[in-house]
Amino acid sequence: MREFNYKNEYAKLLTPNIVNMLTVIHEFKGEQTLFLEAESDLLTQLLEIAKIQSTEASNRIEGIITTDERLKLIVREKTMPKTRSEKEIAGYRDVLTTIHESYDYIPPRSSMILQLHRDLYKFSGMSIGGNFKNSDNVIAEKLPDGTQRVRFQPVSAWETPETMDRLCDEFIKSVSDPEMDPLLLIPMFILDFLCIHPFNDGNGRMSRLLTLLLLYRSGYIVGKYISIEKLITDSKETYYEVLQESSYEWHEGTNDYLPFVRYMLGVIAAAYREFSSRVKLLSTGGFTKAERIRELIKDHLGKITKAELMELCPDISQATVQRTLAELLANGEITKIGGGRYTSYIWNGEDK
């Protein structure tokens, strides 16, 4: 049965690159405190956008989808879910809300994880909610010819309850050690959770919800305002690659946590950069609406769509966004890429 010893593994992670990433995130956390104190009125917009994006992205990566309009209505609790996918989306919405509002009172214990999983499926009528798996499962990859290839064999069903208890005990013990940074322990816990794969269904979504829970409990609440789930989904190829790399020889206890830890630190740092950028933009009273759109495109890494601009600026009308894009195109400040629903824009300037 798999043993956990985070203290031994922790020292292996303290590479110069990882230490530098930790320093950057610690600095962002200090800035986060200032924003929460000084810009609290501006954060409501970001909170609603992130909740919609998180619910959509974490479900989409698992193939659970609905229309954009239906999704927004479900997240805002303006309609009842109809399809199986919508019922699971509504469950995710409620668990996400529970974590946002009550993270201080949800310790990472098996009993709490089971309750969150129960709520994930509360609209579905499925009996799997709130129960560990009752049969062995595999993590498989679907090949182009329609066949499946087993990528990882998780812990057996009969071993799962005890393994989850030991995992939670090890994390709680380690995170209470002042010499161990929770930013390294959280990805280790999440990787182990995914390797155990404790549920018949919902393991991926639960792993992302638990990531937020553990980050919030350690004071890193950026996921409330910037969707960490969206950042993961947008880089899903890398996400799956590092998962596979870090889970190799996991059962033998000789796996390397570093690839997954490095990836997750990169996601958290990216979330903080975006948080900082958005709050500064929203709090800059001297900018016109057109100037805010221009700054968003200029500061955005890579392509951005009109829909994304409107999500970032919910107080700006579609007509204003469209007019500003046309002016920026005419001035040669941006380039239009693609067409129709796939149209996006990229900044041309040298001062990016």
* Domains identified in the chain and CATH numbers: 11-281 (1.10.3290.10), 289-347 (1.10.10.10)
Model confidence over 37-56: pLDDT tens digits? 766 667 887 898 899 999 99
pLDDT score, position 221: 96
Across the chain, mean pLDDT equals 92
Query: What is the rounded distance in angstroms from the CA atom of residue 68 to the CA atom of residue 43?
Result: 23
Model confidence over 94-113: pLDDT tens digits? 999 999 999 999 999 999 99
Q: Counting beta carbons within 10 angstroms of the beta carbon of residue 307, is it exposed (0 to 12), middle (13 to 18) or buried (19 or more)?
A: middle
Q: pLDDT band at residue 136, thresholds of 50, 70 and 90? A: very high
Amino acid at 19: V
Residue 151: C-alpha distances to residues 154, 204, 247, 258 (Å): 10, 15, 10, 19
Q: How is residue 146 written in tokens?
A: 């329609």
Global model pTM greater than 0.85: yes
For residues 242-255, one letter each, b for 16 or more C-beta atoms within 10 angstroms of the residue's C-beta and e for the rest, the string is bbeebbeebeeeeb
Q: What average pLDDT score do residues 212-231 get? A: 96
Q: What are phi and psi of 336, to 5 degrees?
A: -90, 135
DSSP per-residue letters across 142-154: E-TTS-EEEEE--
Query: What is the rounded distance in angstroms from the CA atom of residue 339 to the CA atom of residue 323?
Result: 17
Measured CA angle at 276 (ends 275, 281), to 5 deg: 100
